[in-house]
A and B are shown apart, each in its own frame.
Chain A
C-alpha cells in the first residue's frame, strides 16, 4: 500500500487527452517536488517529468505535469498507441525520510 494514491487504470482513444492523478499528503507531495515515470511493457522506467512540471530533453510537450496542494497530475495529450504503459509518480516523504512511488496507473489507448 503506497502513501501516494494513483488510479489503477485510465483509458482514452487515440488523439484524446488523459489525466493521471497522484494524491498524497503534506508529508510528501504537499511539501516536495513530484516526478513522473513511464514504464513501457518489459522495459525499465523512464523519466517523463521532474520538479513537478519540467520535461527532460527529448520528452515531447504532449506530456505535462502540475501540482496543487497535496495532489499532482500528469496530462498526456494527442494520445498515441505507443503511450500504452504504466505511469508512476514519485516524491520524497518527510515522515519516512525516504523516496516513495505511487502504486502506478496503467494507460490503455483504445
Chain B
C-alpha cells in the first residue's frame, strides 16, 4: 500500500527540541519530493517546505526558513521535521505529503500522512 506514516503526537515544553518523522512506503521514496504542511488550531494550511530524499535538496517557505529544519534519511525512506527550541506558537498539526508535478512550480500534494499533533505548553 502506498502511504506516508507519521510519528505520534508530542507534548513538549517551550525551549525543548523535537524531531517528528514521516515514513514512506509502497513507492520509490527517493523519486518524489516530500513536503511539510502546518495547520495551527482552527486555522488553515501553511506550506512549510519540501525535501527531495534522493539528494536532500531542500526548499523552505520564507515564513519558516530558519525556524525549522527539514531532513531525510533515504536509507529508511523517512523524512523529518525538527525544531531546536520550541515555542508555544509551534503548537499545531503537522502533515507530510508527497509532491507531484512536472516541476516545483506545478506542484500538488497527492498523498498525505495523517498528521502529527505537536503541543507546546509550559
Contact = CB atoms under 8 A, between A and B. Distances in A.
Contacts of B113: 44
Given A33-B106, A98-B62, A44 B47 contact: no
Contacts of B27: none
Contact of B105 (A32, A56, A101): A32
B61 A99 contact: yes
B1 interface: no
A40 interface: no
Nearest to A32: B105
A47 B105 contact: no
B46 interface: yes
Interface in B55-77: 59-62
Counting chain A residues whose Cβ lies within 8 A of the other chain, the interface size class is: 20 to 34
Contacts of A99: 35, 47, 50, 61, 107
A101 B46 CA distance: 6
Nearest to A88: B45
Interface in A51-110: 51, 56, 86, 88, 90, 92, 94, 96-104
Interface of B: 35, 37, 44-47, 49-50, 59-62, 95, 97, 100-101, 104-110, 112-115
Interface of A: 2, 32-33, 35, 37, 39, 43-47, 50-51, 56, 86, 88, 90, 92, 94, 96-104
